[in-house]
Amino acid sequence: MKFDSPFTIEIDHDAKKQIDLDPRGAYGRITIGDFWENFYMSPSIWKIEDYVKQWNLTWKHLETHDTSVFVANVQLNPMVILWPLYKIENNIYIQNAFIISKSYKKMIGKNPYTPKTSFLYIPKRDNTPTKFGKQILKPSEWEVKIIP
């Protein structure tokens, strides 16, 4: 699958450890067009290799499905930080999401959360505007066009 602008996720070997976390952890970097963000990948449940495996599965899953997800962090709290992907026609819409506490128990419960099962727990696309004072704000979302 090819895109009209940069769209990647990878280990960021150059990222500075900004906070004192488990030294077995690593930093990842997602790039969407001219936006990029670093994120910490906890080794408490998944190994760093599991994150990379999941990202590779994400690209394959997206070829045959309208939704997919990049998992950025899985922790014992329980908490999952992810980047859900929604394919609509020739566009992919990317959001940032958290599955924590009660929502984790409701959505995932005691089921195993693995690189392969992560695709079973993709949140629905949040496209609901919210009112902030007098402004109406759309949810944060990035768009990448698929080149046919």
The pLDDT of residue 42: 92
Taking alpha carbons only, the member of 77, 75, 6, 68 closest to residue 40 is 75
Which segments in the chain show pLDDT lower than 70? 16-21
The pLDDT of residue 139: 82
Q: Where are the domains of the chain?
A: 2-110+128-147
The pLDDT of residue 63: 94
Query: Rounded to the nearest 10 degrees, how much is the dihedral formed by the CA atoms of 35, 41, 45, 47?
Result: 110
Q: Beta-strand (E) ranges in 20-141?
A: 26-32, 35-41, 67-75, 79-88, 91-94, 97-100, 130-132, 135-137
Q: Is the dihedral of CA 42, 47, 36, 65 positive or negative?
A: negative
Beta-ladder partners of 135: 132
DSSP 4: S
The pLDDT of residue 28: 95
- CATH fold of 2-110+128-147: Secreted effector protein pipB2 fold (3.30.2450)
Q: What's the predicted TM-score (pTM) here?
A: 0.90
The pLDDT of residue 77: 87
The pLDDT of residue 16: 67
